[in-house]
Amino acid sequence: MKSLEELLRPNIRDLAPYSSARNEYSGRVARVFLDANESPYNAPYNRYPDPLQTELKAAISKVKGVAVENIFLGNGSDEAIDLPYRCFTRPGIDNVVAIEPTYGMYKVCADINDVEYRPVLLNERFQLEADKILAACDEKTKIVWLCSPNNPTGNSLDRDEMMKILEEFDGIVIIDEAYSDFAKQKSFRHDIDNHPNLIVLNTMSKAWGCAAIRLGMAFAQKDIISVFNKVKYPYNVNLLTQQKALEIMKDPFDVDKWVRMLLGERSRMCDAFRLLPICKEVFPSDANFFLARMTDAQAIYDYLVERGIIVRNRTRITLCRNCLRITIGTRSENNELLAALRQYI
């Protein structure tokens, strides 16, 4: 791997970060806060939140088995997807390589940051081929994007192929594990100690049932975490989000139950889809959704919308011709979908 100094944008490497009022005092017990131009009224909302989310990170550390110093928290994964561009890639000069098809935000953020985006096709089983990814990289490639389980395909990527990219690529490898709570495969977050170029993303938006509060995570060695902390908005995770996330992290038993129910429903739904005359293929899923190839995705999508049922039409995505992406809902929601599809003519 290249050194972090070589990989970082020069302006970020040399950046003197904003120093907030709350950053500057530390250690001593304070009683009177007249440093941040806050209102003394309307507690607790009058105070700026903890910029480094110390208490929440301690709780996440226990649940995820990752040291506090290796955790970055952001305003959804969206922030943790945008930050690496702003830290590593020089607009108009550098490029990133990503699997295709995958989650659309990697490309949107590349376009916003004026960074060349190089998609590399998965094979017909939606599997990763490390050599093809490595062949697409050159000396200006700063980041390789992997997503496992992948969206919209649903499958986990081959672990050995991912490991090969981690070991042979000399830049940053980001593995988005938004759906890892639904997968059997071991998370890459336990490999960060051995791989200084690895960033693993996670989110509260899927298995944790907290899409509304906007909390995403990045796990990496502490040098990378320090750079993210330097570049992020000082108070990027608001107080309400920190409080709500802490509450659910301290009592995650519902989440385990939700995941078990969704996995049961996923297998029931996949089996039921395979029996539908209008379904040609159900792709294997390690997530809380699955991809199904239909006879005519657009017509079936329109028919469902007409009945107030919204699925995701992926027919225009590379390799996903005539595919619908179905999120697993409650048992009764899933039954509504099946009933509608069984009446489709």
Ligand X SMILES: *Cc1c(COP(=O)(O)O)cnc(C)c1O
Minimum CB distance to ligand X smaller for 4 or for 218: 218
- Whole-angstrom distance, CA of residue 265 vs CA of residue 258: 11
Which of the residues 305 through 344 are near ligand X (CB under 6 A)?
Answer: none
Q: Which residue lies nearer to ligand X by CB, 78 or 129? A: 78
CA distance 314 to 302: 13
Buried/exposed code over 223-237 (b: 16+ C-beta within 10 A; e: otherwise): ebbebbbebbebebb
Which residue in the shown chain puts its C-beta closest to ligand X?
76
Per-position x/- string for 210-239, each x denoting binding to ligand X as judged by CB under 6 A, each - no binding: -x----x-----------------------
**CA atoms 142, 146, 147, 151: torsion sign:** positive
Question: Does 101 contact ligand X by CB under 6 A?
Answer: no
Residues that contact ligand X, how many (by CB under 6 A): 13
| Interface pick for ligand X out of 98, 165, 178, 183 (rule CB under 6 A) | 178
Residues 141, 155, 197, 205: which binds ligand X (CB under 6 A)? 205
Q: Minimum distance from CB of 155 to ligand X (Å)? A: 13
**Of 7, 49, 142, 176, which lies in the binding site for ligand X, with binding defined by CB under 6 A?**
176
Among 53, 95, 141, 151, binds ligand X (CB under 6 A): 151
Q: What is the rounded radius of gyration, in angstroms, for the C-alpha atoms of the chain? A: 22
Q: Assess 103 for contact with ligand X (CB under 6 A).
A: yes
- For ligand X, which is the closer residue by CB, 9 or 85? 85
Contacts (Cβ under 8 Å, ≥6 apart) of 52 = 229
DSSP track, 323-337: EEEEE---HHHHHHH
Question: Cβ distance 174 to 201 under 8 Å?
Answer: yes
If the CB atoms of residues 103 and 126 are measured against ligand X, the closer one turns out to be: 103
Q: Which stretch binds ligand X (CB under 6 A): 13-21, 35-43, 203-211, 266-274?
A: 203-211
Site for ligand X in 154-173 (CB under 6 A): none
Question: Is 240 among the residues that bind ligand X (CB under 6 A)?
Answer: no
Residue 34: partners with Cβ closer than 8 Å, 6 or more residues away: none
Residue 15: Cβ within 10 Å count: 14
Shortest CA distance to 289 belongs to which of 125, 186, 152?
152
- Cβ-contact 218, 57 below 8 angstroms: no
Q: Which stretch binds ligand X (CB under 6 A): 71-79, 273-281, 307-315, 325-333?
A: 71-79
At its nearest, how many Å lie between ligand X and the CB of residue 241?
12
Give the burial class of 251: count Cβ atoms within 10 A of its Cβ; 0-12 exposed, 13-18 middle, 19 or more buried: exposed
Nearer CB in complex with ligand X: 103/219? 103
Considering only residues 147, 162, 166, 172, which one is a binding residue for ligand X as defined by CB under 6 A?
Answer: 147
Using CB under 6 A as the binding rule, whether residue 285 contacts ligand X is answered as no
Q: How far apart are CA 311 and CA 155, in angstroms?
A: 18
* Interface positions with ligand X (CB under 6 A): 76-78, 103, 147, 151, 176, 178, 203, 205-206, 211, 216
